[in-house]
Amino acid sequence: MKAAILVGGYGKRLRPLTDVKPKPLLEVAGKPILARQVEWLKEHRVNEVVLCVGYLKGKIIEYVGGGGKFGLKVSYVVEEQPLGKGGALKNAEAFLNGEEKFLVVNGDILTNLDPKRLVEAVDEVAGAIALVPLRSPFGVVDTDEDGFARRFREKPVIPEYWINAGVYCFTPEVFDYLPEKGEIEDVTFPKLADKRKLKGLKYKGVFWKSIETHKDIEEVEKTLKNL
């Protein structure tokens, strides 16, 4: 199976680190984010990865090469100007359109979720999104009916709400809904949802983290040490 990883972004919130190194090559617990992603995909029987590159693309190509050191094949699709995640995936149509189904991963997430459920779900629809429960960015204080503080919870999971985990499986039908330039969340997903062609699969009890800030790197490193 093939997987596309969207690694063309600027990583502005991680400056100055990303002034000289693309975010996917930033190390988390001694290993680049992209290396961890490729290894995770290989564990789940992905044998070819398409990297949708843009910003500092030469450094990514130099590091990953043809994929031999990871034990799979790696191809590249270059966006000469920022296209957004939807446009970046549309740009890779020639590499993916012949597949019965394929995975897509945002280039800034780390997870151990099993994408097999997504692959199975698209037998009936054009796409499936992995969903994870929302974790509060703040500590939560519980009070009793009289207003007295009873319990303090540090950044708890809020099980009533589910967020996009940035891991998808699609059939080639998705290319009919992708913009030439724009975000997949803003353009493609609403159209697929309106036509009941998109499923959301809930993952409980998995490790998942989006690397957006310096603090995210610190938190992931602490978590990985305990896994």
Asked whether 18 and 10 are in contact (CB, 8 A), the reply is yes
* Segment 42-55 mean pLDDT: 93
Q: Is the pLDDT of residue 118 over 60?
A: yes
Cα→Cα distances 69→22, 60, 63, 217, Å? 20, 14, 10, 25
9-18, 25-34, 159-168: lowest mean pLDDT where? 9-18
Phi, psi of 104, deg, nearest 5 = -135, 135
Name the residue among 86, 59, 91, 61 with its Cα closest to residue 74: 61
What CATH architecture does domain 2-226 belong to?
Alpha-Beta Complex (3.90)
Name the residue among 119, 99, 107 with its Cα closest to residue 173: 99
Query: Which pLDDT belongs to residue 163?
Result: 92
Query: Which pLDDT belongs to residue 151?
Result: 85
* Segment 162-177 mean pLDDT: 95
Q: Is the pLDDT of residue 83 over 80?
A: yes
| Residue 139: partners with Cβ closer than 8 Å, 6 or more residues away | 152, 153, 154, 155
The residue ranges of every structural domain in the chain are 2-226
d(CA 104, CA 109): 12
User: What percent of the chain clears pLDDT 70, i.e. is strictly above it?
Assistant: 99
What are the helix (H) ranges across the chain?
A: 17-20, 33-43, 57-64, 84-91, 93-96, 116-121, 189-194, 214-226
Helix (H) or strand (E) holding 162: strand 157-170
Give the residue numbers annotated as catalytic, written as ranges. 155
* Segment 140-149 mean pLDDT: 81
Q: Is the pLDDT of residue 120 over 80?
A: yes
pLDDT confidence band for 107 (50 / 70 / 90): very high
Q: Is the pLDDT of residue 227 over 60?
A: no
Query: Which pLDDT belongs to residue 87?
Result: 93
Query: Which pLDDT belongs to residue 123?
Result: 87
Handedness of CA 129, 2, 86, 157 (dihedral sign): positive
d(CA 8, CA 5): 9
